[in-house]
Structure 1
């Protein structure tokens, strides 16, 4: 057993948000088990890297993890523990003034990994709402922010997929924190349940979260956010700023270049009359494509998947889960999005250069140039140029919004 023990102080936190604790793994090691102990009110995150690269992250959701050749704790990559120098990485998230006594125990040898619960039966899919679209495209309902047991969620990937299908979604981005361990499951589970599961990673620090979309490998959250963007783009993915005005998870990092997406509608937007998210969008730039996400972690803790719903205008010929996942990324890349409160709520859609309003009337339409006028009836409306459009009710409460590429 290898033990690291000591007092973590505010000076440590000021010097770096991350503390590396190294240990050596000999050839032929059957497994690695790591256990972290510390006392509240401190909050420490934990993960690890081996000689071959990043192996996984628990954040503060777990204080124990194990890795073997065949399996690993959710959030970690299975595979034979390669010999050489490994590092336990502690995230110094909250350190009280008196400091935090912490101990990390590393055990080398046979390791116990929890067995996942059996996968649920595939539910019958709900009919997808038929919405007007530009020729060659069709709208699908999606949720672009969700979590599983691979980070701090409560459900397995199959359980989450089954719930999303039950809620009427055609696509779901699975965006666990600082890990891509869940990516290995997505294609098979998507095929089994008939839903496009979009690979994602919520790149997470205590000064901002961002979703990296695409099967692009792991993004190092310890690097500056500007590097997140350049790395994601170099690998062919898309980066979205998450819940920019959401309590202690608000976005507080400098970003010289704007990512192409921003999570304007997040489940933390409890009152639609609060104009903060729309004010952020206008100041950040309404040319940035808006997306929405439930940030689902588990029933009883968050909004259900699909609340809100991000509608994506995808290739009308893309139907299989794998094809649809790629088509969803293409739609995001092209800026073809609209957001409603849920799959059945009023929606404002960009179609053939104009807008189509469905399910609402007597509302105010705001354009990217600051113009506004009353949308007396549903149907076709003129767009006020390219960029974001917002529909509000007579009290100023947001009803629906969309991009306009």
Structure 2
């Protein structure tokens, strides 16, 4: 099947996500879809697919073709039976210039399915070398675990396979990592195995991505339908036992502009794009929520040497009973989080009724009511403060640059 046409700016303004129906004949074992369009003027068309039973994959603007087969599919798409009947290619008119964009869509069918791994071949030698863990106090028998709650793989627009990303996390010294590919859950079946291989707890996640803002959902086995209103994302995530977080609420054209009927309890206040941390708008955004938000951080890592260049910058610390997905999610849900610029360096942790400032010589502790006190640690680099106020504490330099947050 081949379809040629032109999308105009008016088409995008009327309806951004378009569907192209096609019939899959009986006996089909694999579908291949190819999209070609003129991107020279800055046009961007997104790509996805749905079968008779619903969602089968999404790659956004990261790919111009995909395969869906019985045994294996292109990363971002779900493998499995290819039932006959009415299917749809999803075309997202993400950027359409005034002069329009010409496109061509080609769909082919095969009665034979290739058996190719969905996790594109990245292999690392064993054993993995991990840096030593930080010496942090236990709190009521719980331990602090270091992780990154926002990262991407080849299942959306990342450069590394799941194995490659988990290997990098281990070598960075992270205990856990949320794999949050855009608008898909095709990476879920591979996480448990790679957790076992690398020793890093991989949290199943998805970044629900639209032009009005992004949100992370962790721990939900269900695909979150990005076509629905954002308040429904939150309700669906909570009903499925997952957590919902507003991502980088102030990050350029990805800033959060959705309307929510319920206040979000978690927000990615510290995103890699907070380059000038004397800029106080992320803190001001958090203060606009009367009940407060649980602060988390995310590197939004895509590729080594890219932007951001480093996984685990910032690091989110979670106080949990153990380093398992349920325990980590429980810790975040309960607000037992802290965020620091990196795994080493200044850190602020809530330990019961006290705060521990670690490696914070010369910094300033800022309380929720904005009163301040200088940090003068003991020879071991530690100082305790009473944690009598509700809300978020932080460490700053004398120039008001944020270096650590604590829920």
Q: TM-score range by the shorter chain?
A: over 0.9
Distance in 2, matches of 1:353 and 1:13, equals: 54
Q: Shift of the alpha carbon at 1:194?
A: 0.8
* SS of aligned partner of 2:288: helix
Pairing partner for 1:243 from 244, 248, 263: 248
Matched, 1:44 2:45: yes
Aligned residues: CA RMSD: 1.6
1:87–1:286 CA distance, 2 compared to 1 (3 A):
same
* SS of aligned partner of 2:78: coil
Pairing partner for 2:181 from 156, 176, 183: 176
Q: Shift of the alpha carbon at 1:288?
A: 0.9
Q: Would you say the 8 A contact 2:220–2:237 is kept in 1?
A: no
TM-score (norm 1): 0.94
* Superposition pairs of residues 74-223 of structure 1, within 5 angstroms: 74-109=75-110, 110=112, 116-122=120-126, 123-223=128-228
Task: Give CA deviations for 1:117-161 in whole Å, capped at 9, x if unaligned.
Answer: 142234122222121232211101010000000000000000100
Q: Would you say the 8 A contact 2:35–2:65 is kept in 1?
A: yes
Distance in 1, matches of 2:129 and 2:343, equals: 16
* SS of aligned partner of 1:145: strand
* SS of aligned partner of 2:325: helix
Query: Alignment length, in residue pairs?
Result: 396
Residue range with higher mean Cα deviation, 375-384 or 109-118: 109-118
- Structure 2 unaligned segments of length 5 or more: list them: none
Query: Which residue of the partner structure matches residue 12 of structure 2?
Result: 13
* Superposition pairs of residues 21-60 of structure 1, within 5 angstroms: 21-40=20-39, 41-60=42-61
Distance in 2, matches of 1:245 and 1:113, equals: 43
Q: Would you say the 8 A contact 1:183–1:215 is kept in 2?
A: no
Q: Would you say the 8 A contact 1:260–1:288 is kept in 2?
A: yes
1:77–1:19 CA distance, 2 compared to 1 (3 A):
same
Distance in 2, matches of 1:157 and 1:284, equals: 36
Query: Which residue of the partner structure matches residue 318 of structure 2?
Result: 312
Query: Which residue of the partner structure matches residue 353 of structure 1?
Result: 353
Q: Shift of the alpha carbon at 1:26?
A: 1.4
1:154–1:369 CA distance, 2 compared to 1 (3 A):
same
Query: Which residue of the partner structure matches residue 2 of structure 2?
Result: 3
Q: Shift of the alpha carbon at 1:399?
A: 1.1
1:293–1:286 CA distance, 2 compared to 1 (3 A):
farther
- Structure 1 unaligned segments of length 5 or more: list them: none
Distance in 2, matches of 1:64 and 1:402, equals: 44
Q: Would you say the 8 A contact 1:286–1:368 is kept in 2?
A: no
TM-score (norm 2): 0.94
Q: Shift of the alpha carbon at 1:25?
A: 0.7
Distance in 2, matches of 1:8 and 1:114, equals: 34
